[in-house]
């Protein structure tokens, strides 16, 4: 059965106080007005110019006065709905829940059968979509690895594999450039059926900005196509302290914030009211090898600050969690670091959050990792909920009823509430037949994974829709080559 | 007097002071010192020391990069003043860049810097560079090696295009090609006909030495 159990935080974790939030906002607006952001797209530059932004066509740098930014951002909705292809999969983003998704888009896979490390392919995306469809931690899906067997068309085949194996909402982070974006919109329209995509976005997109202070031509041009089609678009700044950003968290946040908001402003100029969202993933680098590091306390603080900053613009926040710098599942480091990323983001009130199931800084798919992350997620879901101290939650009447001494084991109240206490499944498996017992947690995770893969049957995509998507893929191949 | 100047140049590179290095180079020429000796006795010693400090974990990347920067500034003053057939000894000339459609900057910058620290002359042409731009840079700088970086599964195919373009320009016999970046593998490198692949900057330096048949 396909289920979604979203997280709802009863805490309000903040890293920046009011004054600090204002300082970052002012620094960002200063940078936007005085330094600017490069938009290497004639179309984007023309639109900015038409609307009266300061545009230098030679350097392709756009500078935006504070008023300009705030007016445009005033048009962006604080909440919107994402759709899947089945009832009960719609997500009201910005409505107080935090919806989690898989991580992407990796380039290598630990083979499902042989255990060898190899290049990723379309079938990996399909299998992971099926497992993600089952897991209730996953509210929407990022194709987890690249469909490298389809070359240039990989991003479209990732969508095909996703829609064919999962009914939940799909978000792409690999569809770049006008051409691919147009085909992706066509595919999304097949999923939306007779409904207007604007009303029922079955696809959303995440585009990265290029630190420091640039946009990607292909990225921003895809974003414009999506915005016009009514597909929600998010922008993610990925400043790395010391290499693509100053070696101070505040500076990295400011750079990413300026990049992302400048892109969101453009979306509002093109199609006012377009659903947009923001994400800032600050990272560090190994000071000698420049390896991309995501397991740093400073990064975790920035994750929370980033949520506050998105909300400060009045748009939903996407948090980036899990996807840590290790290649081995089930290590103590992973346990430690997942808590800092995922729990802190959740408590800060991210609206959507990506990251389950990948290792090696989001480049390596290890099949059973998603089972570990699912379990951590559910821990967090309970943690974020907080405690119930209403009469019913305290059960004074039951305390009174049992009185001093004795026990609660035989009480009906216990019978009906014991199941509310969530017990981690991997560390505390239920009783199993003798011959099936296994103390190895990694094997348990793997068994669960294999079982889902073998038994779960997502509602299939309708025959007609499948054919339509096939046709679109063939057209894309004829038009763009592989 | 001259010894003192060489030591100062060495020091400016070790301490990573590009402005000082440039100024010192000018003073050295004013004092009539031989530019090539200034390079060999001053700058080269400095960058070697920087490399050692980096290898021993004492120096971080910014120290390495700013050290190389200081050397570059001083070289810009000294090299034009060299006379006759005087020229700085370089291990090899490398053109490096990230392929078309790909904006990932850091990996190739790091590889380039490590090559500089190991005595190579490096021309970093930047990110999002077409095969034609690579070819032009190879011609212009008479390069021995081309290094192409690609971080996306969708752009790694550009490495193949680059190799084809080098063949078309009749440069393939003369220039070695090394490729790298997260999705690139040894077998991919062989498949597209590159001369070598390296997974990180340290092995990229070893590879470069091997490609031009020089002892590391
Ligand atoms: C930082 C980063 C970015 C930054 C880059 C900032 C900048 N100015 O450079 C930004 C935010 C701009 C970015 C953008 C995008 N990115 Co990116 N990015 C990364 C990330 C996290 C780290 C890259 C990095 O800097 N590593 C540190 C350096 C030191 O390592 P390195 O580059 O691997 O280089 C080393 C070796 O590879 C080797 N090497 C590298 N080059 C060369 C060259 C030669 C000749 C040799 C011998 C060796 C060599 O030596 C280097 C030093 O040790 C990687 C994931 C990862 N962990 O690798 C994703 C990643 C590469 N990006 C990815 C994606 C999808 C994108 C976007 C498409 C996202 C989007 N939706 O917009 C855009 C594409 C933009 C574009 N057109 O290029 C995916 C690629 C997946 C795929 N299917 O191909 C990755 C794998 C992340 C993921 N899991 O999703 N990205």
pLDDT 10s digits, B61-75: 999 999 999 999 999
| Cα–Cα nearest to B14, from B64, B58, B62 | B64
Residue with tokens 């209730």: A136
Tell me the three state secondary structure of residue A283.
strand
> Are A176 and B154 inside 8 Å of each other by CB?
yes
Q: Which CATH number fits domain B2-86: 3.40.50.720, 3.40.50.12780, 1.10.1240.10, 3.30.565.10?
A: 1.10.1240.10
Domain B92-211, classified CATH 2.30.140.10, yes or no: no
Helical residues (DSSP H) of A135-170, grouped into ranges: 154-165
Residue with tokens 């004492």: B58
**Angstrom distance (rounded) from CA B87 to CA A216:** 41
Counting every residue, how long is chain B? 216
CB distance from B52 to chain A under 8 Å? no
So what's the pLDDT on residue B84? 80
So what's the pLDDT on residue A358? 92
So what's the pLDDT on residue A229? 96
Full-model pTM: 0.91
Phi first, then psi: give them for residue A431, nearest 5 degrees: -55, 140
A148: tokens are 């490298």
Contact in structure between A47 and A270 (CB atoms under 8 Å): yes
- The percent of residues above 90 in pLDDT, for chain B, comes to 87
Counting every residue, how long is chain A? 482
How many CA atoms lie less than 13 Å away from B167 in the CB half-sphere? 9
> Are A290 and B106 inside 8 Å of each other by CB?
yes
CB distance from B86 to chain A under 8 Å? no
> Are B61 and A288 inside 8 Å of each other by CB?
yes
Domain ranges of chain A: 73-385
Count of helix runs (H) and strand runs (E) in chain A: 17, 19
Burial A178-213 (b: 16+ CB within 10 A, else e): ebbbbbbbbbbbbbbeeeebeebbbbbbbbbbbbbb
So what's the pLDDT on residue A427? 82
Q: How many CB atoms lie within 10 A of CB A335?
A: 11
Q: Where does CATH 3.40.50.280 sit in chain B?
A: 92-211
B83: tokens are 């006379």
Q: Is the distance from the beta carbon of residue A218 to the nearest atom of ligand 1 less than 6 Å?
A: yes
**Angstrom distance (rounded) from CA A391 to CA A394:** 5
So what's the pLDDT on residue B101? 93
Residue with tokens 């402003």: A265
Of ligand 1's atoms, which has the minimum distance to the CA of residue A285?
27
> Are A214 and B103 inside 8 Å of each other by CB?
yes
C-alpha distance from residue A212 to each of A44, A91, A250, A304, B164 (Å): 18, 33, 14, 21, 32
| Element spanning B203, H or E | helix B201-211
**Angstrom distance (rounded) from CA A238 to CA B65:** 22
Tell me the three state secondary structure of residue B91.
coil
All residues of chain B having their beta carbon less than 8 Å from the beta carbon of residue A152 are 154, 157
**Angstrom distance (rounded) from CA A279 to CA A276:** 10
Q: Which CATH number fits domain A73-385: 3.40.50.720, 3.40.190.80, 3.20.20.480, 3.30.70.260?
A: 3.20.20.480
> Does this complex have an ipTM over 0.95?
no
Enter the DSSP assignment of B42: I
pLDDT of residue B193 exceeding 60, the answer is yes
> Are B154 and A119 inside 8 Å of each other by CB?
no
CB distance from B200 to chain A under 8 Å? yes
Q: Report helix angle B18-30 to B2-15, nearest 10.
A: 160
Cis geometry, peptide bond prior to residue B160 (ω within 30 degrees of 0):
no
B78-118, pLDDT tens digit by residue? 999 998 888 888 899 999 999 999 999 999 999 999 999 88
What is the nearest CA distance from A258 to chain B, expressed in angstroms?
Answer: 18
CB distance from B103 to chain A under 8 Å? yes
Per-residue pLDDT of chain A (482 residues; tens, 9 = 90+): 789 999 999 999 999 999 999 999 999 999 999 999 999 999 999 999 999 999 999 999 999 999 999 999 999 999 999 999 998 899 999 999 999 999 999 999 999 999 999 999 999 999 999 999 999 999 999 999 999 999 999 999 999 999 999 999 999 999 999 999 999 999 999 999 999 999 999 999 999 999 999 999 999 999 999 999 999 999 999 999 999 999 999 999 999 999 999 999 999 999 999 999 999 999 999 999 999 988 899 999 999 999 999 999 999 999 988 877 777 777 888 888 888 888 999 899 999 999 999 998 889 999 999 999 999 999 999 999 999 888 778 999 999 999 999 899 989 999 989 988 988 888 887 776 665 556 688 888 999 999 999 999 999 999 999 999 999 999 999 999 88
Q: Where does CATH 1.10.1240.10 sit in chain B?
A: 2-86
Tell me the three state secondary structure of residue A79.
coil
All residues of chain B having their beta carbon less than 8 Å from the beta carbon of residue A151 are 154, 157
Beta strands A292-293 and A284-285: pairing type? antiparallel
B118-171, pLDDT tens digit by residue? 889 999 999 999 999 999 999 999 999 999 999 998 899 999 999 999 999 999
pLDDT of residue B215 exceeding 70, the answer is no
Q: For residue A22, how far is the Cα from the chain centroid?
A: 26
CB distance from B153 to chain A under 8 Å? yes
B78: tokens are 């000294």
CB-based contacts of A60, cutoff 8 Å, min separation 6: A38, A39, A40, A45
Q: Is the distance from the beta carbon of residue A176 to the nearest atom of ligand 1 less than 6 Å?
A: yes
Q: Is the distance from the beta carbon of residue B129 to the nearest atom of ligand 1 less than 6 Å?
A: no
Residue with tokens 């969101």: A264
All residues of chain A having their beta carbon less than 8 Å from the beta carbon of residue B182 are 107, 363
A227: tokens are 């915005």
CB distance from B53 to chain A under 8 Å? no
So what's the pLDDT on residue A215? 97
A324: tokens are 């840590």
């Amino acid at each position: 059965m396909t289920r979604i159990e979203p997280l709802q935080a009863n805490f309000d974790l903040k890293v920046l106080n009011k004054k600090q939030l204002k300082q970052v906002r002012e620094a960002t607006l200063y940078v936007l007005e005085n330094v600017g952001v490069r938009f290497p797209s004639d179309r984007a530059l023309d639109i900015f110019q038409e609307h009266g932004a300061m545009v230098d066509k030679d350097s392709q740098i756009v500078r935006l006065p504070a008023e300009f930014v705030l007016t445009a951002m005033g048009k962006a909705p604080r909440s919107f709905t994402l759709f899947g292809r089945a009832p009960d999969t719609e997500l009201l983003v910005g409505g107080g829940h935090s919806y989690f998704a898989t991580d992407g888009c990796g380039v290598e896979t630990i083979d499902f059968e042989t255990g060898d490390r190899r290049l990723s392919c379309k079938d990996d995306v399909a299998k992971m979509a099926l497992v993600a469809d089952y897991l209730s931690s996953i509210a929407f899906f990022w194709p987890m690895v690249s469909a490298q067997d389809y070359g240039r068309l990989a991003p479209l085949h990732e969508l095909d594999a996703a829609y064919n194996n999962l009914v939940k909402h799909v978000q792409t982070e690999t569809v770049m450039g006008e051409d691919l974006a147009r085909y992706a919109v066509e595919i999304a329209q097949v999923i939306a059926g007779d409904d207007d995509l604007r009303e029922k976005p079955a696809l959303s997109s995440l585009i990265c900005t290029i630190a420091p202070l640039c946009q990607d031509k292909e990225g921003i041009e895809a974003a414009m196509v999506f915005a016009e089609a009514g597909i929600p678009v998010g922008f993610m700044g990925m400043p790395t302290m010391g290499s693509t950003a100053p070696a101070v968290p505040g500076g990295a946040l400011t750079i990413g914030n300026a990049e992302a908001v400048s892109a969101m402003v453009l979306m509002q100029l093109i199609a006012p009211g377009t659903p947009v969202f923001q994400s800032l993933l600050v990272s560090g680098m190994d000071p000698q090898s420049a390896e991309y590091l995501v397991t740093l306390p400073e990064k975790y603080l920035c994750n929370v600050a980033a949520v506050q900053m998105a909300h400060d613009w009045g748009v939903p926040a996407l948090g980036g969690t899990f996807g840590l710098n290790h290649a081995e599942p089930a290590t103590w480091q992973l346990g430690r670091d997942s808590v800092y990323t995922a729990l802190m983001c959740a408590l800060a009130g991210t609206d959507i959050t990506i990251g389950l199931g990948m290792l090696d800084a989001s480049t390596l798919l290890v099949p059973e990792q998603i089972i570990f992350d699912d379990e951590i997620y559910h821990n967090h879901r309970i943690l974020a909920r907080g405690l119930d101290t209403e009469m019913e939650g305290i059960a004074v009447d039951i305390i009174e009823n049992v009185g001093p001494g004795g026990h609660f084991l035989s009480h009906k109240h216990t019978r009906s509430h014991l199941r509310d206490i969530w017990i981690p499944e991997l560390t505390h498996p239920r009783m199993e037949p003798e011959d099936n017992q296994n103390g190895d947690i990694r094997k348990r995770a793997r068994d669960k994974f294999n079982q889902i893969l073998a038994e779960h049957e997502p509602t299939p995509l309708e025959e007609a829709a499948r054919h339509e998507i096939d046709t679109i893929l063939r057209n894309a191949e004829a038009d763009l080559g592989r | 007097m001259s010894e003192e100047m060489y030591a100062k140049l060495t020091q400016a590179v070790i301490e990573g002071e590009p402005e000082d290095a440039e100024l010192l180079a000018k003073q050295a020429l004013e004092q009539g010192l031989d530019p090539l000796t200034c390079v060999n006795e001053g700058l080269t010693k400095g960058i070697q020391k920087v490399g050692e400090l980096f290898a021993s974990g004492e120096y971080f990347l910014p120290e390495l990069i700013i050290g190389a920067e200081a050397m570059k500034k001083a070289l810009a003053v000294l090299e034009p003043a060299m006379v006759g057939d005087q020229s700085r000894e370089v291990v090899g000339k490398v053109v490096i860049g990230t392929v078309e459609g790909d904006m990932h900057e850091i990996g190739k910058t790091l590889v380039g810097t490590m090559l500089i620290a190991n005595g190579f002359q490096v021309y970093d042409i930047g990110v999002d560079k077409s095969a034609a731009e690579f070819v032009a840079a190879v011609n212009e700088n008479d390069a021995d090696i081309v290094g192409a970086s690609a971080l996306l599964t969708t752009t790694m195919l550009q490495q193949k295009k680059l190799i084809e373009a080098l063949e078309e320009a009749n440069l393939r016999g003369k220039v070695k090609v090394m490729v790298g970046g997260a999705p690139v593998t040894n077998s991919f490198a062989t498949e597209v006909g590159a001369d070598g692949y390296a997974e990180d900057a340290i092995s990229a330096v070893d590879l470069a030495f091997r490609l031009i048949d020089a002892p590391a």
